[in-house]
Structure 1
């Protein structure tokens, strides 16, 4: 892997993302939000945005600040973009959740804060996009993973703009008839652009590079990856056209069918490349994170099939079940799997790369104990599978119980990340210096990696 340097704020993004994940899971285990409340209830929207922004977006942004320079063989610039974006995203999310709490009538809530939260969040998104798009665009011609990320960043901007429009509608800043029409038409586009256009497209692009790197497999560059890219681009472009038509009250084109078709093609051809990566790998013995990535991939396929079934009218509860498994099984599961490799990898770069050749150093794999962590991954994915089935079958108590198990699996995985970061798994004779800071960066420090 080409070393582009370490992003000082990536560990902070990861820590806050994991905190948001645990809080959201505890809420769902306690019966807060869907299915105990309506799918569009403010309580549900609190959990949805805590997962989508607090967990998945912070996780993705932290990873992108670290790995986009790697994708384009560029240099890591530890400038002001990462901390400013983090501040805006966390502050915007807090204000947004306060607004939803106001709509729900919860103590401390203020519904009028919704538009302000949307503005701050969108500002944070734009900082992320400005930084990453500049790095990517300067590296033309672009490698396939970087192209996916660029399309995903466009999906992020679209998600933010649609979210701000919905915030204005929900707080009475628009006439009632216009607000109702906007909410009914824009919510599906907002959800699709966030879960699909931003998070899934970006995850596909990043996973192409990370999986090929960690599996020691040739990166897919054939016609399948090109078809997957163009399908993603078409889907995001159609989402944007649909959003513009809604905002301008224009007649809506037949975009949903085309978006579903393009999205299905992207998933199908990505799936073929995913299988090819594992078949052509030189690392024959799969590490734990690669096995967990297979479970996340299975969640992507299952979620896509559930979503298609819901769109086709086969069961009203299929769409919520699909959203859940795509959020927690595909994106969340892949995120946890990659963190299990990324956290020790970055810790090794920080602690041992500078002293290689001057003293004995451990391998990256020595920073983890797979036999300790494996049961917690399978516990997590088993809980996701049970919770998905419970949502589809309308069994709320079973869903809550599965979420409680999922909380346990997540906390135990976080413990493994912590042990890797604190160098708790390596022999003492291989490390005699100070342990790295857990998640807060050392400010005003030169990056020597």
Structure 2
């Protein structure tokens, strides 16, 4: 397996909101919502596995179906193994300026807990340091989709497994497109042409955006060929050896975003200030029919979630690329500290939580894409175009632990530099600097 020594730029946890739906919408909260269910050390009820995760909800009164489904799989492990999974939870007020990612890095490095829910950039960093146990021997690991295995393999070891694969897509108000005589765009040129018509028709900001997810446009264009017809292993090896440059892959995507900003198709200033779904940002404008398009993740289209009950016809499509609409996939994962006090029990619990039986329960509850190749769940109607592409293995990965430069977090930050006024050349220089640092490590 290719060696990884990723360069990690820490992100606040709200930047990972779509990576794990409501579970990671915690860092921008005020500490309201669900508190610790238990803080439980060595036990009076048998073996104990200490589990560190985010727990707060988007709002105190919201039904957190992702949390509920996760709890059900944990209950399955407790019943099957006769152990207790004790929750040790992150809250923004408890850790003040420390983000969930930063806290996870500290806690895993010191093996303060056993089991963790981790974002992709943290998985790369801790896996490279040898701080996460190898999960490849688990029975559940044998059923993984190949993209899940690739995304979470570091130095030849499978160090994390998710309960869902998160697909990002372009959420489109089909009624507006129909009124404007527009077909849904597939390529960058078609997207620019649609934005031009929408702006002429009075839609001042055709694409609503927040400060986290515009990197999806870059990934779709940068890696469409690599993941759909390219020699993935050879191309990644060339990047890790410095024979190819990330900046060459990503320049077209950054140039595309610059065109969108310069033409006023994205409100760059508002995007820099806006958190996902919050306040009067891109979510409110999309639901009110002011912005015809918005970027979001799969779960946002499900009933009773962010965009689950629009008053208009909605469709979720892939991002524009020369190969056509392209879903962008990312994922969190469960990991076990390599020095965990209750490591064997944690691995056994994971094997139950990530079994096909448990993943089917989780996927059916949340209507999400399962990491198991054996579990396929029907999706909400607006998601069918995106789902069809993913099931046909048409997608790009936004997190790939085989790449020496961590992708999701780093590209997000550089896109934000572009929104703040940096030139494309300046952005490419930052990518080159990250790659040079990885080569020197």
The two structures share one fold, judged by TM-score above 0.5 = no
Which is richer in strand? 2
TM-score for both structures, normalised by structure 2: 0.31
Which is richer in helix? 1
Which structure ranks higher in relative contact order (CA pairs < 8 Å, sequence separation ≥ 6)? 2
TM-score for both structures, normalised by structure 1: 0.30
